[in-house]
């Protein structure tokens, strides 16, 4: 039996085990070890299992993962989400659909601290949904805005999605963070334009709220100032070369802790909760990374990535068409696979093809994160939709799915813009000042 057929059998077994609800990390380790054993030897399989696990847990650069997770958790308990929403509401609340636009803006701000789509959707949903219900917003618009706004958590840096991507394809975490800034702002604006169009067509979807005075707006910005300061220090420090991403994560975590402490939110219970959540999320991320680094050598031995590249390139399809095929496949996978799992399962196959087609790896990282975002809100099993359903228990799922359609279209438009103008993603990384350890 050829290496390619063994690889295909391994992939079929992988998806079968995932369908049986086995954890993705364990499945990748199991398939990787058995595959390397069959294609090489038992000693090679055991050596890969031991070596790759040690490389992941002992790599200093990977400490960026728990540090940014810790920063997001301290930001959550500090009450920053309410400050962000209050500031956004004071500026946009008097528009038709202003509360929904404020939710999007606040999600973008919180994304710059959390790095997680689920965390952004849950945190901002608990703050924004009661307000939109009070102003009699359509359930469709309210839940759709929360689900879509939450997806910004893995696009606007610091993004755990970018960190995982960078580790898997050996790219610069700092360059990927900066690459996500302008596309993240672009997508935020497109979401708000979608809300404006919807409420212009049907004003009953989102009635205008009260207009805030300039004094109230200034006070709201003062309240949100600490968050802006933390973002400026971390992302600005990476851009100017003052910090490495790891150093920026440490500084950001310390500043978030100090903010929570000054506000009186740090106590034994909250600290214990923050640390436990950080350890759990970090262990999950590292476990998945170890599984990916055992699965990847198996994929390389099967030669499936090179065979796939040869088939698609040999078909002489325009590279844009091939990219659209890849994006469609990711959207479909995203409806039932978690974002991390999708990255680690597919990048060993897809990334060599992307390089063969001549696309920039940093640019593709941004594109693939947006496509994963689309999967997070796509039926039938969009993860973020079910997260929002847990907050809005009285809203039928079909209403939430209907509510995300305009935002899904906005994401598609964003992808088209990035395909036409890749410089949007590459401008900041190309002008950044590299830091020195």
pLDDT tens digits for 152-205? Answer: 888 888 888 888 888 888 888 889 999 999 999 999 999 999 999 999 999 888
Domain membership flag for residue 12: no
Distance separating alpha carbons of residues 414 and 188, to the nearest angstrom: 10
Distance separating alpha carbons of residues 145 and 99, to the nearest angstrom: 10
Q: How many CB atoms lie within 10 A of CB 203?
A: 12
Domain membership flag for residue 265: yes
Domain membership flag for residue 210: yes
Cα–Cα distances (Å) from 307 to 191, 215, 310, in that order, read 39, 63, 5
Residues in the chain: 437
pTM of the shown model: 0.81
Q: What is the pLDDT of residue 380?
A: 67
Mean of pLDDT over the chain: 85
List the one residue out of 51, 1, 22, 19 whose CA is nearest residue 296: 51
CB 92 within 8 A of CB 105: yes
More confident residue, 55 or 251: 251
Q: What is the pLDDT of residue 109?
A: 84
Q: Which of 109-113, 264-268, 334-338, 396-400 has the lowest mean pLDDT?
A: 334-338
Domain membership flag for residue 42: no
Q: State the DSSP string of 251-287.
A: HHHHHHHHHHHHTT--SHHHHHHHHHHHHHHHHHHHH
Q: 37 falls in which pLDDT band (50, 70, 90)?
A: very high
Distance separating the N- and C-terminal Cα atoms of the chain: 49
Two structure tokens written together for 204: 């009953």
Distance separating alpha carbons of residues 254 and 429, to the nearest angstrom: 25
Domain membership flag for residue 411: yes
Q: What is the pLDDT of residue 434?
A: 61
Q: What is the pLDDT of residue 336?
A: 64
CB 13 within 8 A of CB 33: no
Domain membership flag for residue 321: yes
Q: 437 falls in which pLDDT band (50, 70, 90)?
A: very low
Distance separating alpha carbons of residues 190 and 198, to the nearest angstrom: 12
Mean pLDDT of 236-257: 89
Distance separating alpha carbons of residues 27 and 30, to the nearest angstrom: 5
State the residue range of the domain holding 210. 61-431
Q: What is the pLDDT of residue 79?
A: 77
CB 7 within 8 A of CB 306: no
Q: 381 falls in which pLDDT band (50, 70, 90)?
A: low
Number of structural domains found in the chain: 1
CB 155 within 8 A of CB 373: yes
Two structure tokens written together for 9: 């059998």
Most confident segment among 34-48, 208-222, 374-388: 34-48
Q: Is the pLDDT of residue 243 over 80?
A: yes
Q: What is the pLDDT of residue 436?
A: 44
Q: How many CB atoms lie within 10 A of CB 244?
A: 20
Mean pLDDT of 26-36: 90
């Amino acid at each position: 039996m050829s290496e390619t057929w063994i690889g295909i059998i391994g992939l079929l077994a992988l998806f079968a085990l995932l369908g049986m609800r086995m954890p993705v990390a364990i499945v990748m380790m199991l398939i990787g070890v058995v595959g390397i054993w069959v294609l090489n030897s038992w000693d090679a399989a055991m050596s890969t299992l031991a070596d790759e696990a040690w490389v992941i847990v002992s790599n200093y650069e990977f400490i960026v993962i728990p540090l940014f997770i810790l920063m997001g958790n301290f930001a959550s308990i500090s009450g920053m989400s309410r400050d962000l929403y209050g500031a956004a509401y004071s500026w946009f609340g008097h528009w038709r659909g202003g509360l929904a636009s404020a939710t999007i803006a606040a999600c973008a701000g919180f994304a710059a601290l959390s790095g997680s789509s689920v965390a952004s959707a849950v945190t901002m949903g608990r703050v924004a949904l009661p307000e939109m219900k009070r102003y009699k917003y359509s359930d469709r618009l309210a839940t759709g805005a929360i689900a879509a706004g939450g997806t910004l958590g893995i696009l606007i840096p610091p993004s755990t999605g970018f960190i995982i991507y960078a580790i898997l394809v050996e790219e610069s975490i700092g360059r990927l963070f900066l690459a996500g800034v302008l596309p993240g702002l672009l997508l935020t604006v497109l979401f708000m334009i979608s809300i404006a169009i919807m409420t212009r067509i049907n004003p009953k979807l989102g009635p205008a709220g009260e207009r805030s005075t300039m004094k109230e707006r200034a006070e709201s910005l003062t309240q949100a100032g600490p968050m802006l300061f933390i973002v400026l220090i971390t992302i600005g420090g990476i851009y100017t070369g003052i910090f490495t991403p790891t150093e920026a994560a440490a500084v950001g975590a310390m500043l978030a802790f100090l903010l929570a402490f000054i506000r009186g939110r740090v106590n034994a219970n909250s600290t214990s909760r923050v640390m436990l959540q950080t350890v759990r999320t970090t262990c999950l991320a590292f476990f998945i990374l170890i599984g990916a680094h055992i699965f990847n050598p198996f994929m390389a031995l099967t030669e499936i990535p090179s065979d796939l590249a040869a088939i698609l390139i040999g078909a002489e399809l325009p590279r844009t068409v091939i990219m659209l095929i890849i994006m469609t496949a990711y959207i479909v996978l995203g409806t039932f696979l978690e974002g991390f799992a999708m990255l680690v399962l597919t990048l060993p196959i897809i990334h060599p093809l992307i390089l063969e087609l001549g696309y920039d790896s940093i640019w593709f990282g941004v594109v693939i994160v947006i496509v994963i975002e689309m999967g997070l809100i796509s039926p039938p099993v969009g993860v973020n939709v079910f997260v929002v359903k847990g907050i809005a228990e009285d809203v039928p799922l079909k209403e939430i799915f209907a509510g995300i359609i305009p935002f899904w279209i906005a994401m598609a438009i964003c992808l088209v813009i990035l395909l036409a103008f890749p410089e949007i993603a590459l401008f900041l990384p190309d002008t950044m000042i590299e830091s020195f350890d």
